[in-house]
C-alpha cells in the first residue's frame, strides 16, 4: 500500500511540515503497537494487522524539507558530514564536489590512481569513512529537538559540524 499525502496551501511549509504529519504519526504508532482487527477472507479467520513505514521517496530539494539536512554549501552531502572535501568555485561561489567520489571506490581500482582522467591531477588515497547506521544514527538525532518544540532555531554546531536544522517527526516511529 502506498500512502500519498497532500498538504494544502500555496506556500512552502519548510520546517513546519511536521505539524501536518503529527496526526499521521500518531495513527501509525497506534497501528504499529496495537494494530487493527482484520478479517482474512481466504483463511476465514481474523488477525491483528500492524503497519510500518518502510521507506520514503523524495527528490533532493524535498530532502531539506522532509529530513531537515540542508543540501546547500560544502556540507550538503549527508554521507560525508563534516569530513567533506568540497570546495567553492572561484567564479560564482557555488559548492563543488567534483573529483571526490573516487574515495568511495575500492582501494584496488585503477581509477583511484588515474591522475589524467580528472582535473584535480591527484591520486585518491583517502578511504571513505564508514556510514552511520542503526543506533548511531538514532543517538545522533536524539540530540536535536523537533520543529514543533523549537521552531526556526538553529542547532549548536550548524554549518561547522553538521547541516541538521531539526529532528524530523519520522523519528517518532519505531526503527
CA dist., res. 57 & res. 20, Å (int): 18
Closest CA to 166 of 17, 55, 21: 17
pLDDT at 44: 96
- Indicate if the pLDDT at residue 17 is higher than 60: yes
CA dist., res. 155 & res. 14, Å (int): 16
- Residues 34-63 have a mean pLDDT of 86
- Indicate if the pLDDT at residue 33 is higher than 90: yes
pLDDT at 13: 62
pLDDT at 42: 94
CA dist., res. 113 & res. 122, Å (int): 8
CA dist., res. 63 & res. 17, Å (int): 12
Q: Are the beta carbons of 43 and 18 closer than 8 angstroms? A: no
Closest CA to 15 of 153, 128, 158, 109: 153
**Using one digit for the tens of pLDDT, what is the confidence trace for 73-124?**
777 776 776 677 778 888 877 888 776 777 788 888 888 788 777 766 777 7
Grid cell digits, residue 46? 481474523
Query: Which residue do the cell numbers 532555531 mark?
Result: 153
41 strand-pairing partners: none
- Indicate if the pLDDT at residue 6 is higher than 60: no
Query: Regarding beta strands 87-88 and 45-49, do their DSSP bridges make them parallel or antiparallel, or are they unpaired?
Result: unpaired
Amino acid at each position: 500500500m502506498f500512502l500519498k499525502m497532500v498538504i494544502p496551501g500555496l506556500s512552502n511549509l519548510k520546517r513546519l511540515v511536521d505539524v501536518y504529519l503529527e496526526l499521521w504519526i500518531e495513527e501509525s504508532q497506534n497501528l504499529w503497537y496495537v494494530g487493527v482487527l482484520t478479517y482474512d477472507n481466504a483463511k476465514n479467520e481474523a488477525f491483528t494487522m500492524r503497519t510500518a513505514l518502510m521507506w520514503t521517496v523524495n527528490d533532493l530539494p524535498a530532502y531539506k524539507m522532509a529530513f531537515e539536512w540542508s543540501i546547500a554549501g560544502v556540507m550538503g552531502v549527508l554521507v560525508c558530514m563534516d569530513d567533506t572535501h568540497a570546495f567553492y568555485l572561484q567564479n560564482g561561489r557555488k559548492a563543488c564536489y567534483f573529483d571526490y567520489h573516487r574515495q568511495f571506490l575500492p582501494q584496488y581500482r585503477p581509477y583511484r590512481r588515474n591522475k589524467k582522467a580528472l582535473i584535480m591531477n591527484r591520486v585518491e588515497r583517502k578511504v571513505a569513512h564508514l556510514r552511520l547506521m542503526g543506533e548511531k544514527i538514532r543517538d545522533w538525532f536524539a540530540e536535536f529537538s523537533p520543529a514543533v518544540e523549537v521552531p526556526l532555531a538553529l542547532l549548536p554546531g550548524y554549518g561547522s559540524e553538521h547541516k541538521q536544522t531539526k529532528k524530523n517527526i519520522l523519528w517518532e516511529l519505531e526503527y
